[in-house]
Structure 1
Amino acid sequence: MVLGPWDRNWERWRPSYRAEKNKNNDNNNNLLSLYYTVMLRFYYEIFSVITAQEEELKALKKRLSTAQPKVAFSAALRDSGGGHIGPFTTNTPLQYKRVFSNTGSSYNPATGIFTAMVRGVYCFRYSMYGNNSGRPNSVVSLMKNGEMLVTTWNTDDSVNVHESASNTAVVQLEVGDGVYIQLWANRVLYDDRNNYNTFTGFLLFTV
């Protein structure tokens, strides 16, 4: 077979062409390998960051759940029936018998006293209702270890028969401190299934 000029040139260039083609293929393979290596490292680092953040979040939740006790209660004065409470001849702690919640079991419905199990800052709130037609007026106080913190009362007249009031205090308690609501001597409250008189408290944070 006789080769023409083009064929003779091609036969002369073919080795260099093949070498260049192989070189280009190697470069492409190297670039592709580098791309996959970079992407793999990128996704690995992202995965590592997400995993570390998840572990930190789990640890934080665990610390919060163990470091912060759960303390909260809420109760109403009567567990059944209706009528007046009082008057008594002396100042008397009120027993809120209908317990809505008592997380931590720090409130005792038999005595009406909340006892702090942990040192911390607590919030307490109470409501008071009087239906005092022809009776003494209502006066109650939030007490801490026998010390009066805040007080509410209503007037005793023929115009303001149905009256309600509430008060709130944020106080620091030591372990064993007792908090309760006190009805003053010779005063009355009224309550029924509507739960006008309530006593609520919860731990804000430990100290």
Structure 2
Amino acid sequence: MKRAPVLLLTLCLSGALVRAETASESDIRAELGALRATVEELRLMESRLAASENKVQAQENSAEDLRAELIATKMELRHFKERAEEMEKKMAGGPKVAFSVALTGTVGTFNAETTLIYPQVITNIGNAYNVYTGFFTAPVSGVYFFRFNTMDGRKGYHMGAALHKNNQRVLLNIAWNHQDDHEHVSNGVVLELSQGDVVHMRLPAWYRVTDWVGHHYNIFSGFLLFAM
């Protein structure tokens, strides 16, 4: 009879131990699950942090590239500024050449091409234009600009003029006067000249140009852009 209570007690203790063990495993699983969730969250945060760091690094690299480009641009601008200042100094200290001359009265017609001599001097800085020969002689090697205008009012005839460098024709502008009115032609050109080169205007054979004192319908002009 004494064995029954002992057996019953043993069974009760075994059940309690089983319940205790079961409760512990459940708590552990819950804690493990929470821990896994926390670890996963940390991994996501680490991934986002790495992505943010990469983005920041890319922006820093881009900023560095922009800084390098800005520095290069500033250096290039400084170089051009220095060259411009040098050219300004050369031009300020170099020769000054400019002229504008005009015809007076009627010139032509001639049975051969003829040099136009412009007797009325409006400007002749540097005295490079010769009023007796009609020649402009380059005092220094450089780049020059020349312009001319011609006019005639004779109906039914050609008018115009040609610009020559030394003995070579550079420009020829002509017009046919269809009505009894003033007919004009003009042109301009930039030429590279060596010291001593000559530029002048010529009237083609059987052509005529007309001017009146003070009107300046027929002008020949030029000036030095820069010496070389």
The answer as to whether partners of 1:152 and 1:166 remain within 8 angstroms in 2 is yes
**Match of residue 65, structure 1, among 92, 100, 118:** 92
Separation in structure 2 between the aligned mates of residue 60 and residue 182 of structure 1, nearest angstrom: 35
Distance 1:63 1:114, change over 3 A: closer
SS at match of 1:65: helix
Is 1:122 aligned to 2:149, yes or no?
no
Q: How does 1:3-82 map onto structure 2 within 5 Å?
A: 64-66=91-93, 68-78=94-104, 82=105
Distance 1:141 1:175 in 2: 22
Between structures 1 and 2, the one with greater strand share:
1
Q: Give the 3 Å change call, closer, same or farther, for CA 191–62 of structure 1 in structure 2.
A: same
Aligned residues: 142
In the superposition, relative to structure 1, how do residues 65 and 147 fare at CA in structure 2: closer, same or farther (>3 Å)? same
Please report the TM-score for the alignment, with normalisation by the length of structure 1: 0.64
2:196: which partner in 1?
176
Shift of 1:162: 1.7
User: Segments of 4+ in structure 1 off by > 2 A?
Assistant: 59-66
Shift of 1:61: 7.5
Q: How does 1:151-190 map to 2 (within 5 A)?
A: 151-157=172-178, 159=179, 161-190=181-210
Structure 1 residue ranges without an equivalent (≥5): 1-58
5+ residue gaps, structure 2: 1-85
The alignment yields a C-alpha RMSD, in angstroms, of: 1.9
Aligned to 1:199: 220
Q: How far apart are residue 161 of structure 1 and its match?
A: 3.5
TM-score w.r.t. structure 2 length?
A: 0.58
Counterpart Cα distance in 2 of 1:62 and 1:121: 17
Mark the structure with the bigger radius of gyration. 2
Out of 115, 118, 126, the residue aligned to residue 96 of structure 1 is: 118
